[in-house]
Amino acid sequence: MPLTLSSRFKILHVAGARPNFMKVAPVMAAAAEWRSGTVRFEQVLVHTGQHYDATMSDVFFRDLVLAAPDYSLGVGSGSHAQQTADVLRRLEPVLIDTAPDLVVTVGDVNSTLAAALCAAKLCIPVAHVEAGLRSGDRTMPEEINRLLTDQLSTLLFTTSRDADRNLAGEGIDPSRVHLVGNPMIDTVDRLRARTDGASAARRLGLASSREYALVTLHRPSNVDDPARLSELVDLLLRLARRLPVLFPVHARTRKRLADTERLARLAAEPRIVLTEPLGYLDFLGLMSGARLVLTDSGGVQEETTVLGVPCLTLRTTTERPVTITEGTNRLVDPSDPAAVVAAADETLARPMPTARRPYLWDGHAGRRIVAVIAGWDRQAL
């Protein structure tokens, strides 16, 4: 039945990787601020620790104005099976102890699927934030996580109309699907004014604006194959001839680069700036000021779209086609370095694009999600 004036409703949020927290933060803030008089929300935050960097943790939570997790599971790295199993094993007693009314899981990492599966087996309803995204490529572990999480979820919160169509095509009851917009953009809008990309660029020895490329690479398809990784190193060296390159190196990528001479080759190029992973505010500011972004990240495709920064996604598929049809993103096959360089040259020859926001990417997705939960008729589903 719908929640009533005296209802106390407990939401347990599960996040496992840094991008998850950018999506969790607006939902938690909206629930904390909820003043409709229909429900009082209690909230529990669980960090599975699937991705965890002790040196970056404090600054990251401070940047997002997000309280420390109530539970940290400390799962750490491992194979897909190991991570999924460890989250299941460690999350189950938390769910039993806290007895939430709803488990909210976000994104598409292994923690996302594990949280949904663990909750479903305990007969706890699941809400999936960022439901319905599909690349059509089942060799991506994230695609399997998306498909299965959506099948297990009671409430499915989508970021775009193509996600709604995907879910309809998979037979998901449309009454369970809610187009709410993109909570990651809520975080961009809330915190962008606090960024100082120009100062961050100067600290790193870069021109303050529009005169550098920003690169992120972490997907196994790009960094785990030695031949592909060598091609990408050559690509960055070629790109550096055109403009300076800022490359915050993901821990996974750094390990792969360090196994050979590739890291030394990049470090020897004065127009390539290698850094450790950056805090959210520094990264957002530097992305805002970039002339061009090269990435294999899903979230960066979305952020560059609303920032109006040209983005070349080094993949052959994307689960976020709206960033191409309504944004600044372009897919380029990373196995063809010449095509990537040509795409970069074409982009640099054009003026900066005008930022365009997809439907409902307006900074209020978190509030819409909480409004749906507050009005949710539990007996109807």
Could you give all domains of the chain from N- to C-terminal order, each with its CATH number?
7-182+361-380 (3.40.50.2000), 196-349 (3.40.50.2000)
So what's the pLDDT on residue 53?
66
Instruction: Write down the catalytic residue from 51, 218, 250, 364.
Output: 218
So what's the pLDDT on residue 35?
84
Cβ distance 59 to 20 under 8 Å? Answer: no
So what's the pLDDT on residue 2?
52
How far apart CA 363 and CA 342 sit, in angstroms, is 35
The question of whether 13 is a catalytic residue gets the answer: no
So what's the pLDDT on residue 378?
63
Task: Compute CA 373 distance to the chain's CA centroid, rounded to the nearest angstrom.
Answer: 22
pTM, two decimals, is 0.94
Task: Compute CA 129 distance to the chain's CA centroid, rounded to the nearest angstrom.
Answer: 11
Q: Which two tokens stand for residue 252?
A: 């996974």
Helix (H) or strand (E) holding 226: helix 226-240
Helix (H) or strand (E) holding 30: helix 18-32
User: Mean pLDDT in each 10-residue stretch from start to end of the chain (381 residues)?
Assistant: 65 93 96 86 94 67 91 91 96 98 97 98 98 96 97 98 98 98 98 94 90 95 91 95 95 87 94 94 96 97 97 97 97 94 96 93 98 80 47
**Residue 288 contacts by C-beta under 8 Å, 6 or more apart in sequence?**
192, 195, 197, 307, 309
Count of beta carbons in the 10 Å neighbourhood of residue 331: 18
Cβ distance 112 to 16 under 8 Å? Answer: yes
Quickly count helices (H) and strands (E) in the chain.
17, 13
Residue 93, φ and ψ in degrees, nearest 5 = -65, -30
So what's the pLDDT on residue 5?
43
